Amino acid sequence: MSQTFIDAIRRRRTQYALGREIPLSNDDTNALIREAVRQAPSSFNSQSSRVVILWGAQSVRFWEITKDALRKIVPADAFASTEEKIDSFAAGAGTVLFYEDQNVVKGLQEQFPLYADNFPVWSEHSTGMAQFAVWTALANAEIGASLQHYNPLPDEAAAAEWDLPAHWTLRAQMPFGAHAGDIGDKTFMDDAERFRIFG
């Protein structure tokens, strides 16, 4: 059995130490991200995932927006560590913002009322698979990344900043860039606690 895909997903790890100089051009990286999202599955082939790719100063701006939102809720004496973490995301080459189009979800609910309660759940599955696909694709291009969830704090300001549709709901943020530090080994729980096989 070929291990190519398993090897690919083994390379997907959280990288917090990011630099600006990545091994692909911006255009090639954009194409890689687009294709990863295109190929990610979605329920009823709904293709509900939407992606915003921010480069350079635009990416920094997103993390400034997020920092401003956090400053309002994080105690002042604890903000230094929060600021340091946010600045590490802004130090990368760019950020991918993952959205789900709620108009698609509502349309499917109207078209298939028997499954109406499931479509919001399946939308979450879709975005998760898109995120995983992009993260793995970046890792295989030797680009570091991590997955963040600061939504809904920056949502309104980000939508205004980049004139995004109101029916797009932010689900995750993926800062990416050059590997500027080591990645720790991933630990695993005991298989006996996680898997049950019959037959």
Q: What is the DSSP string of 22-35?
A: -SS-HHHHHHHHHH
Q: Which of 179, 196, 198, 194 is nearest to 14 (CA)?
A: 179
Q: What are the respective helix, strand and coil percentages of the chain, to the nearest 5?
A: 50, 15, 35
CA–CA gap between residue 42 and residue 90 (Å, rounded): 30
Provide the residue range defining the domain that includes 114: 22-181
Question: Quick check: 73 pLDDT over 60?
Answer: yes
**According to the model, what pLDDT value does residue 20 have?**
96
In a domain, 188, yes or no: no
**Per the structure, how many domains does the chain have?**
1
**According to the model, what pLDDT value does residue 2 have?**
61
In a domain, 191, yes or no: no
In a domain, 144, yes or no: yes
How many CB atoms lie under 10 A from the CB of residue 93?
A: 23
In a domain, 154, yes or no: yes
In a domain, 108, yes or no: yes
Query: Where does the pLDDT of residue 184 fall: very low under 50, low under 70, confident under 90, or very high at 90 and above?
Result: confident
Quick check: 36 and 133 in contact, CB under 8 A? yes
Please report, rounded to a whole number, the percentage of residues in the chain having pLDDT higher than 90: 93
Look up the CATH number of the domain holding residue 50.
Answer: 3.40.109.10
In a domain, 142, yes or no: yes
**According to the model, what pLDDT value does residue 145 have?**
98
Predicted confidence (pLDDT) per residue in 1-59, tens digit: 467 999 999 999 999 999 999 999 999 999 999 999 999 999 999 999 999 999 999 99
